[in-house]
Structure 1
């Protein structure tokens, strides 16, 4: 049976013509680009509007926001790979200190009110590929880290107790060299910042 094609009825709804608004400064009719826009796009009118007392705070806020955005963009443009590495390391270290907040210093085993660092068992100079390895980094008091060169002998003793001899031997073993890209460093920074926020929220 031959079917008769359905005839679609033309819509009787006409598109709405945008209403024009009179510029509060010069009186010219213009089409608003946003709700609440009171002046047209002529430079003289926009400048006059910005000078009105009620618009000063809004204009200053917009300028400040623009300047902050431009400053961040400029800083990003001149950053070196070393800068990205330091930022990623700082985010990782902050997470380590939060993760180990209830743990004593990995080397001396003390709890005290002094400053704590994120101490690497194998240093970033000796094993840069392990700089972001959680098993290799633990909360360590400033005296042990700064004045005792990490107190590695006691660090190892307590590390074996904490994570087991097999894992310590894995840390001490050979590892493939690792060269992080800038994008990887950005991702590491974002990842550990997010983990740190989660730990702070759970505290």
Structure 2
């Protein structure tokens, strides 16, 4: 008794622009013609190239992270915190904390200005009460415009809170893990703030 081989069933070509029906010569064949076979081979190569590039980018990111010093983590945490302060005050429609003038949000003219400077009070660098949107003019060229800053700050958070900031001499040491957590926290808070504002 002879066993007859099963005839292969027709398939549709896997190439999106083709999708022609064909009878495969082998079970693994998913293309109808040599041209479509080339298209599939190229797509597979491109997928492998992208996968390799993504893996390489991840590895570079991990290596860069390992090379970072404490100062790099401090800078990144400060940038994330400052971005949150600017977003918070822009969404609230606040004026410049020291001059009381409208802030120019169109360019790069707004700083996150600290009442007690990072140099003289590093323990307050991530205290939201101590940092507010301020024109670059006041922050950089008028050395923070401290007298007017205090007036604006008192109006915004109250005299008791201002005096508490002025009296705060506590020592805070930030570890690398602390700084990473601060960066993550303020990036998340900024995203949440912008998402809530856009809704």
Please give the TM-score of this superposition, normalised by the length of structure 1: 0.73
Give the count of matched residue pairs. 154
RMSD over equivalenced CA pairs, Å = 1.4
Aligned mates of 2:177, 2:103 — CA distance in 1: 38
Aligned mates of 2:132, 2:43 — CA distance in 1: 54
Deviation at 1:167, TM superposition (A): 0.7
Partner of 1:63, secondary structure, is helix
Aligned mates of 2:195, 2:41 — CA distance in 1: 44
Q: Does the CA-based 8 Å contact 2:103-2:110 persist in structure 1?
A: no
1:111 aligns with 2:102: yes
- 1:116-135 mapped onto 2 (5 Å cutoff): 116-135=110-129
1:162 aligns with 2:151: no
- Higher share of residues assigned helix: 2
From 55, 59, 76, the counterpart of 2:65: 76
Structure 1 runs of 4+ off > 2 angstroms?
none
Q: Does the CA-based 8 Å contact 2:86-2:112 persist in structure 1?
A: yes
1:199 aligns with 2:188: no
Aligned mates of 2:148, 2:114 — CA distance in 1: 13
- 1:141-160 mapped onto 2 (5 Å cutoff): 141-160=135-154
Please give the TM-score of this superposition, normalised by the length of structure 2: 0.74
Aligned mates of 1:184, 1:112 — CA distance in 2: 32
Deviation at 1:54, TM superposition (A): 2.9
Aligned mates of 2:46, 2:100 — CA distance in 1: 55
> Deviation per CA, 1:47-103, whole angstroms, max 9, x where unpaired?
xxxx94231111111111111111101111100000000101100000001111110
1:58 aligns with 2:47: yes
Any unmatched runs of 5+ in structure 1?
1-37, 39-50
Partner of 2:132, secondary structure, is strand
